[in-house]
Amino acid sequence: MPEASTAKGRATRARIVEGAAEVLREQGVAFTTLDDIRDRTRTSKSQLFHYFPGGKDELLLAVAEFEAGRVLEDQQPHLDCLDSWESWYRWRDAVVERYELQNDQCPLGSLFLQVGRSEPGARAIVAELMRQWQERIADGIRTLRARELIPASVDVDRSAAALLAGVQGGVSIMMSTGSSAHLKAALDTGIEQLRSAKAVAERS
């Protein structure tokens, strides 16, 4: 993978990835051709193959990486300070809003399915995103525990895993139904479970 060595080249490469991401979100991987991407990014076939010698697969992989980065970036500010119940609800709102905006397109999900089997790289990208995301949530839960908002008995990693699963499921259900009800339900019950953990612990 020959990295572009001039400023112009790097700009073109970036333009391709971002433009491709747009088109892919709009049309879905299955219905997007290199020509669509070429049109959108005002480039030519040779440029596409110049920057991505591995062809479409390599380009899709780059887009997947790009999109994966954005997922966390968008939540960064909220994920960074999950230290009070209010902050957890702010995060909740941010997640819901983010996915409501890009109504029924989960760029990563579809990208993964397209490249998935052939490229182990795609799996790695998604797996790594999940790992980081979950770690951030776990950090937030640990903060709560440090502040004694929840008891020490809470299984941090399992709670984080469950919460993440709820978000993923909420999003994927939203894609077929168009409604964010499940996403909200998952987030709300997940947070409430944490909040109620103290009560449960104290009673026993």
Identify which of residues 5 and 204 has a Cβ nearer to DNA in the complex: 5
Residue of the chain from 14, 34, 165, 191 that contacts DNA (CB under 7 A) = 34
The interface partner of residue 28, options being DNA, a second copy, none and the CB cut-off 5 to 8 Å by kind, is a second copy
User: Nearest distance from residue 77's CB to DNA, in Å?
Assistant: 34
Q: How would you class 85 by CB atoms within 10 Å of its CB: exposed for 0-12, middle for 13-18, buried for 19 or more?
A: middle
Residue ranges of the alpha helices (H) in the chain?
7-27, 34-41, 45-51, 56-79, 85-101, 107-115, 120-146, 156-177, 181-203
∠ CA(27), CA(163), CA(97), 5° rounding?
45
Identify which of residues 45 and 70 has a Cβ nearer to DNA in the complex: 45
Per DSSP, the three-state class of 30 is helix
State yes or no: residue 117 binds DNA (CB under 7 A). no
State yes or no: residue 177 binds a second copy (CB under 8 A). yes
Residue of the chain from 34, 94, 130, 149 that contacts a second copy (CB under 8 A) = 130
User: Nearest distance from residue 24's CB to DNA, in Å?
Assistant: 11
HSE at residue 149, side-chain half, CA atoms within 13 A, is 17
Nearest Cα residue to 110 out of 32, 173, 28: 28
CA atoms of 50 and 70, how far apart (whole Å): 25
Interface stretch with DNA, choices 50-58, 95-103, 104-112, 162-170 (CB under 7 A)? 50-58
Sites of contact with a second copy (CB under 8 A): 27-31, 109-110, 112-114, 116-118, 123, 126-127, 130, 158-159, 161-162, 164-173, 175-178, 181-183, 185-186, 188-190, 193, 196, 199-200, 202-204
User: Which residues would be at the binding site for DNA (CB under 7 A)?
Assistant: 2, 4-10, 12, 32-35, 42-47, 49-50, 55-57
